[in-house]
Amino acid sequence: MEPERPSRTLGAGWQFAGLFRDYWNGSRKWTVRGAVLLLILLTVAQVGLAIWVSYWHRDLFDALEDRALGELLHLTLVFVLIFVLTMGVTALHLHVKRWVQLDWRQWLTTLVLDRWMSQARHYRLQFAAGEHDNPDGRIAEDIRIATEAAVGLAHSLLYSVLILGSFIDILLAVSGSAALPGTDVVVPGYMVLMAFVYAGAGTGLGLLLGRPLIRSTNRLQTVEANLRFGLARARAHSESIALMHGEGFERRSARRLFDDVGRGWNRQTVAYLGIVSFSTGYGTLLPVFPILIAAPQYIAGVMTLGLLMQAAQAFQRLTSALSWPVDNLGELARCRASIDRIVSLYDDMLQLERPDQEGAAAAEHIQVSHARHPDLQIRGLCLTTPTGQRLLDGFDIHVRRGERILITGDPAVTVALFKAVAGLWPWGKGEIELPEGRDVMFLPQHPFLPEGTLRAALCYPHDAGQYGDAELQRALECAGIVWLAPRLDDSDDWGRALPLRAQQHLGVARLVLQQPGWVFIDEATSAFDGQDEMDTMEMLHHELPSTTLLNISLHNGVLRFYDRKLVLKRQRPARIQSFRTERPSLLPEA
């Protein structure tokens, strides 16, 4: 079930909460709800143990003040029980919390990854407006940070709220009332009031000092992702860089990216200085402050030593709970920055399918669908660049199954047409009806060869187990690269290990192996010589006799293999696009 898209007027936090709602109500909702309920119950148990420890400390100091050895031995046995229970509850709580974090991360990663890797969004997103740079980093890293931090922060907030409610009662009971110095005015529960004043002042100053941390953390995560992407790009194109001797340029580029990281790091350091300095002073004073304000009552004999220590501990617990925003400011900033990056990516992917309602012109886009008939129909096709420059206008064609069409002309137009039919070029308007079913294969100039075995690369995108060795060997033989057959089970980065000509032959071998009904080729034989291309077309003519073939090629030496030739010219501004369809003269076969 696809999650409901939250309103764009809502903040990123509310949109992210909407994604959690879909996780909460998903197909595994009872497992998820059970784990979250168990996590809450274990948090309640942790608070209960903290309350028990508070009373145990009071009894301990009272026993020490009374020098009661028998009571001390009894309290030692009680502490052993508290110790064992605390360890068990903490361990179980950690296990359940990490399970929820991983399960939510897996669900959210699958959701975003499935959307990114469908309908060519991973490609189209490069041309879309919005903040969605480094989508791979957002999926791998930001989802991890957001889910881990969100669950951790939710637990600590719940714990703090429960501690707050529990230890207010304890502090009210043990601190009693006190008169203001030099007056007869009695303040009931004065230590509770002082705890709120202490924590309130700390929280207010902490939030003020920590505000720059959120912006600097968001900026740092962005430039860190840019550095990772730049280095990964250099690794992916290492051969081209080496051939062009571009190492110096890449080093300078990497240094510039790292300089951005350094500046982002320094901004975060400056932002941390204020909040860390304040937090250190705040935390150092906390254990001493409650003892100082409760000491007069102990000296006056109103409190026992046990009550004094319990009051001091309850004061610390209470102020720590009230100081939750300050204590978690850094984690909140990190979580919010990652949430913003996830929501921005997800929202921009949704926007790819939603035309702008504010402008009718922006709503125009190319409609690609699968028809119920076996032919290809293109009606009223207008192709433009992403910036709006017109490439092709008023293009109509009807291609019957089994036809062979050679497409030539302006490369910008032919490539745009190839991508439009593949669903990768939404800029323009018109209708493209692909033949029924999905027996359509696109062969680009640089075929994608995934890392792994040659067998998997040849069968891509299908499972290698679908084809037998005999089928694979025959496909390689037909494509003229039977010398690769002994390497079927070798693993390598074939996109780098093989020259372009061998890669293109491997793309042709895929056609023979997978036997598609329709093939769209874009300069996929550009590295072949004339005879090699003739042999390849002759082979496809015999091996794929009923396959419809549309080939974008600049070579006219293979005209005899086609029924029609389509010449596309680039549309100039303020001119009506013209195109012509020719039937080439069939030459006698050699």
pLDDT at site 185: 58
φ, ψ for residue 368 (rounded to 5)? Answer: -115, 125
pLDDT at site 97: 93
Q: Bigger pLDDT: 125 or 571? A: 125
Helical spans, DSSP H, in 25-68: 29-66
Q: Bigger pLDDT: 571 or 352? A: 352
Q: Bigger pLDDT: 154 or 210? A: 154
Confidence band of 424 (pLDDT split at 50, 70, 90)? confident
**Residues 478-522: tens digit of each pLDDT:** 998 999 999 999 998 888 888 889 999 999 999 999 888 889 988
Name the range with the highest mean pLDDT among 178-187, 538-547, 572-581: 538-547
Residue 179 has pLDDT above 60, yes or no: no
Q: The domain spanning residue 522 has which CATH number?
A: 3.40.50.300
- Residue pair 513/458 in contact (Cβ under 8 Å)? The answer is yes
DSSP 554: S
Q: Which residues contact 419 (CB under 8 A, 6 or more apart)?
A: 425
- Same domain? 443 vs 347: no
| Separation CA 474–CA 581 (nearest Å) | 36
| Separation CA 254–CA 285 (nearest Å) | 45
| Separation CA 103–CA 27 (nearest Å) | 13
pLDDT at site 70: 79
Q: Which of 312, 333, 352 is the last residue of a domain?
A: 352
Instruction: Report the candidate in 360, 439, 397 with the shortest Cα–Cα distance to residue 579.
Output: 397
Residue 578 lies in a domain: no
539 three-class SS: helix
- Same domain? 173 vs 251: yes
Residue 407 pairs in a beta bridge with 552, 566
Work out the percent of the chain whose per-residue pLDDT is above 70.
Answer: 88
- Tell me the residue type at 223: V
Residue 4 lies in a domain: no
Instruction: Work out the burial of residue 67: count CB atoms within 10 Å of its CB; fewer than 13 is exposed, 13-18 middle, 19 or more buried.
Output: exposed
Residue 5 has pLDDT above 60, yes or no: no
Residue 428 pairs in a beta bridge with 383
CA distance readout (Å), 53 to 57, 62, 74, 75, 382: 6, 14, 14, 11, 75
Q: Bigger pLDDT: 178 or 256? A: 256
- Same domain? 130 vs 260: yes
Confidence band of 248 (pLDDT split at 50, 70, 90)? confident
Q: Could you give the dihedral angle defined by the CA atoms of residues 215, 219, 220 and 225, in that order, rounded to the nearest 10 degrees?
A: 150
- Same domain? 329 vs 417: no
pTM higher than 0.75 for the full model? Answer: no
- Same domain? 348 vs 447: no
Q: Bigger pLDDT: 581 or 200? A: 200
- Same domain? 15 vs 111: yes
- Same domain? 239 vs 346: yes
| Separation CA 163–CA 325 (nearest Å) | 15
Residue 442 has pLDDT above 90, yes or no: no
Whether omega before 461 lies within 30 degrees of 0, making that bond cis, reads: yes
pLDDT at site 96: 94
Residue 375 lies in a domain: no
Structure tokens at 537: 């077309």
- Tell me the residue type at 125: L
Sole residue written with tokens 């931090």: 149
Residue 396 lies in a domain: no
- Residue pair 407/392 in contact (Cβ under 8 Å)? The answer is no
- Same domain? 152 vs 35: yes
- Same domain? 141 vs 282: yes
Taking residues 175-186, report their average pLDDT.
59
Residue 582 has pLDDT above 70, yes or no: no
Residue 231 lies in a domain: yes
Residue 579 has pLDDT above 80, yes or no: no
pLDDT at site 318: 80
- Same domain? 337 vs 408: no
Residue 281 lies in a domain: yes
Q: How many CB atoms lie within 10 A of CB 396?
A: 12
- Residue pair 52/44 in contact (Cβ under 8 Å)? The answer is no
Residue 543 lies in a domain: yes
Residue 173 pairs in a beta bridge with none
**What element of type H or E holds 409?**
strand 404-409
CA distance readout (Å), 356 to 10, 129, 351, 421, 580: 18, 12, 8, 23, 35
- Residue pair 459/395 in contact (Cβ under 8 Å)? The answer is no
- Same domain? 332 vs 411: no
Confidence band of 363 (pLDDT split at 50, 70, 90)? very low
Lowest mean pLDDT among 8-12, 202-206, 427-431: 8-12
Instruction: Report the candidate in 202, 252, 206, 245 with the shortest Cα–Cα distance to residue 230.
Output: 252
Residue 589 lies in a domain: no
- Same domain? 139 vs 56: yes
Taking residues 114-139, report their average pLDDT.
77
Pairing of strands 376-384, 428-434: antiparallel
Taking residues 425-435, report their average pLDDT.
86
Sole residue written with tokens 């004339």: 530
Residue 106: domain span: 11-352
Pairing of strands 518-522, 440-443: parallel
Taking residues 266-271, report their average pLDDT.
86
Residue 95 has pLDDT above 90, yes or no: yes
Q: The domain spanning residue 263 has which CATH number?
A: 1.20.1560.10
| Separation CA 559–CA 565 (nearest Å) | 8
Across the chain, what does the average pLDDT equal? Answer: 80
For the chain, the domain total comes to 2
pLDDT at site 586: 38
Residue 411 has pLDDT above 50, yes or no: yes
- Tell me the residue type at 208: L
